[in-house]
Amino acid sequence: MATYTLSELEADIRSYTEVDSTVFSGAVLSRFIGNAENRILYDLPMDSDRKMATGNFAVDNNTINNPAGALFVRAVEVFDSTSATTGNSVFLQKKDVSYLREYVAKLTGPSGGLTGQDVTGQPKYYAMFGGATGVTDSTSGGLLLAPTPDTTYAFRIYYNAQPTSLVTSTSGTYLSRYFASGLLYGCLTEAFGYLKGPMDMLTLYDNKYKQEVQKFAGVQLGRRRRDDYTDGTVRIPVKSPSP
């Protein structure tokens, strides 16, 4: 299986495009690589980006920060104790902020609200607000909870995170090891777009990129999410030859 380090990928981009480092400097290629990685990230969420964060709620605080680098939250698990290794757990139901406001208002009366009078207990619902930024827990966005925690319940947040770029992890990343061809074609699409042609080469590598994404998606969203025992073996229909 072909793999890439940063220097190997840079060399191949220059070789495929026949453009040397006077035009395609390291800084320019870093942009191409970052843009290609982001395109892959949003085209195809991968298991390698799935993370888990643990913590404890603060008493009488109905918000928590997003985990570091979180792109989106997939689930929130809450335990009926202060430790994630003991007690029973339940998964919170994800709702909109408006639902939480209505829920709290109905429990506390007309004056109720997430910023005023509130009901406390073990949380049942959560809603997203703001967005994660930077590489540390985001204070500009996070999760709203209802009811407001009445003790320091332990929780786990399951989420997808922004992956490390090959530009910073120069010896290799998940993409450069397991999706090297797709990463290369994504970078070449960026490169020929930067050069403003030839358009046939831009179209060629963009189509190659899309083909590789479809194949890789079959692994990430198909085979990695199934097993033969519970789902059965995938059978591909084969057309019989015409008589």
Domain that holds residue 221: 6-46+163-225
CA distance 145 to 163: 27
Do the strands 120-121 and 154-161 form a parallel or antiparallel pair, or are they unpaired? unpaired
Question: Phi first, then psi: what are they for 46, rounded to 5°?
Answer: -115, 150
What's the pLDDT at 86? Answer: 81
**182 and 129 fall within a common domain:** no
Residues 41 and 58 in one domain: no
Instruction: Determine the pLDDT at residue 112.
Output: 47
Tell me how far apart the alpha carbons of residues 98 and 218 are, in angstroms, rounded to a whole number. 37
Q: What is the pLDDT of residue 109?
A: 57
Q: Using CA atoms, how far apart are residues 53 and 155, in angstroms rounded to an integer?
A: 8
For residue 23, which phi and psi values (nearest 5 degrees)? Answer: -100, -50
Chain centre distance of CA 173: 15
Query: How many distinct structural domains can be found in the chain?
Result: 2
Q: Give me the pLDDT at residue 71, please.
A: 85
Clarify whether residues 106 and 130 are in a common domain: yes
Task: Mention every residue, 6+ apart, whose C-beta is less than 8 A from residue 133.
Answer: 140, 141
Does residue 136 form part of some domain?
Answer: yes
Tell me the CB-side half-sphere exposure of residue 84, using CA atoms within 13 A.
Answer: 14
Q: Please report whether residue 89 resides in a domain.
A: yes
Q: How many CA atoms lie within 13 A of 242 on its CB side?
A: 0
Residue 126 domain flag: yes
Q: Where are the beta strands (DSSP E) in 30-92?
A: 50-56, 63-66, 70-79, 89-91
pLDDT of residue 123: 94
- Same domain? For 25 and 65 the reply is no
pLDDT in tens, 114-135: 554 568 899 999 998 876 554 5
Residues 179/146, Cβ–Cβ less than 8 Å: no
Angle made by CA atoms 64, 70, 71, in degrees to the nearest 5: 125
pLDDT along the chain (243 residues), means of 10: 91 96 96 96 88 93 87 92 87 93 74 59 90 53 89 94 93 94 96 94 95 86 71 68 68
Residue 243 lies in a domain: no
**Residues 53, 155: one domain?**
yes
Are 119 and 192 within one domain? no
**Contacts (Cβ under 8 Å, ≥6 apart) of 121:** 147, 148, 149, 150
CA 163 to chain centroid: 8
pLDDT of residue 19: 96
